[in-house]
Structure 1
Amino acid sequence: MKTKISGITIECMRGDIASQPDMEAIVNAANAQLRIGGGVAGAIHRAAGPGLEEECRPMAPIKPGEAVISGGHNLPNKYVIHCLGPVYGKDKPEDKLLADCYRNALKLADENNIRSIAFPAISTGAFGYPIREAAEVTLDTIKEVAPALKNVKTIRFVLFSKGDYEIYKEMIESIGHGAQK
Structure 2
Amino acid sequence: MLIEAVCGDLTREHVDAIVNAANSSLLGGGGVDGAIHVAAGPALLAECRELRRTTLPDGLPTGDAVATGAGDLPARWVIHTVGPDRHRGQTDPGLLASCFARSLDVAAALGACSVAFPAVSAGVYGWAVDDVAQIAVDTVRSWAEQHPVDASGREHAVTLVRFVLFSETALEAFRSALTRGSGGSTPS
TM-score (norm 2): 0.86
The alpha carbon displacement at 1:59 in A equals 2.3
Matched, 1:15 2:11: no
Query: How far apart are the structure 2 equivalents of 1:163 and 1:111?
Result: 33
Q: What is the DSSP-based 3-state SS (H/G/I as helix, E as strand, rest coil) of the residue aligned with 2:5?
A: strand
Alpha carbons 2:114, 2:160 under 8 Å: kept: yes
- 2:119 pairs with 118, 121, 135, which one? 121
The equivalent residue for 2:159 is 153
CA distance in 2, matches of 1:87, 1:58: 25
Q: Is the 8 A contact 1:87 1:94 kept in 2?
A: no
Shift of 1:174: 2.3
1:173 shift after superposition: 2.0
Q: Displacement of 1:51 after TM fit?
A: 1.1
After superposition, what is the alpha-carbon deviation per residue over 1:142-163, rounded to whole angstroms, capped at 9, x for unaligned?
1211123351000000001110
Q: Secondary structure at the match of 2:11?
A: coil
Match of 2:25 in 1: 33
More off after superposition, 8-17 vs 164-173: 164-173
Contact 1:86/1:98 (<8 A) preserved: yes
8 A Cα contact 1:70 1:79, kept in partner: yes
Unaligned runs of 5+ in 2: 53-58, 150-156
CA distance in 1, matches of 2:90, 2:5: 28
Structural RMSD (CA): 1.5
Matches within 5 A, 1:76-87: 76-87=74-85
Q: Using the TM superposition, give the Cα deviation of residue 171 of structure 1 relative to its aligned residue in structure 2, in angstroms.
A: 1.4
Identical residues among aligned pairs (%)? 39
**Distance (whole Å) between structure 2 residues aligned to residue 64 and residue 80 of structure 1:** 17
Number of residue equivalences: 171
1:89: Cα distance to partner?
4.5
Aligned partner of 2:138 in structure 1 is 140
Cα distance in 1, alignment partners of residues 146 and 112 from structure 2: 14
Does the residue aligned with 1:128 lie in a helix, a strand or coil?
Answer: coil
Does the CA contact (< 8 Å) of 2:41 and 2:72 recur in 1?
yes
Structure 2 match to 1:55: 47
| Aligned equivalents of 1:93, 1:44: Cα separation in 2 | 26
Aligned equivalents of 1:154, 1:19: Cα separation in 2? 16
8 Å contact kept, 1:24–1:78? yes
TM-score, with structure 1 as normaliser: 0.89
Deviation at 1:137, TM superposition (A): 1.2
1:165 is aligned to 2:158: no
Aligned to 1:174: 180
Amino acid in structure 1 at the alignment position of 2:161? I
Distance 1:175 1:52 in 2: 38
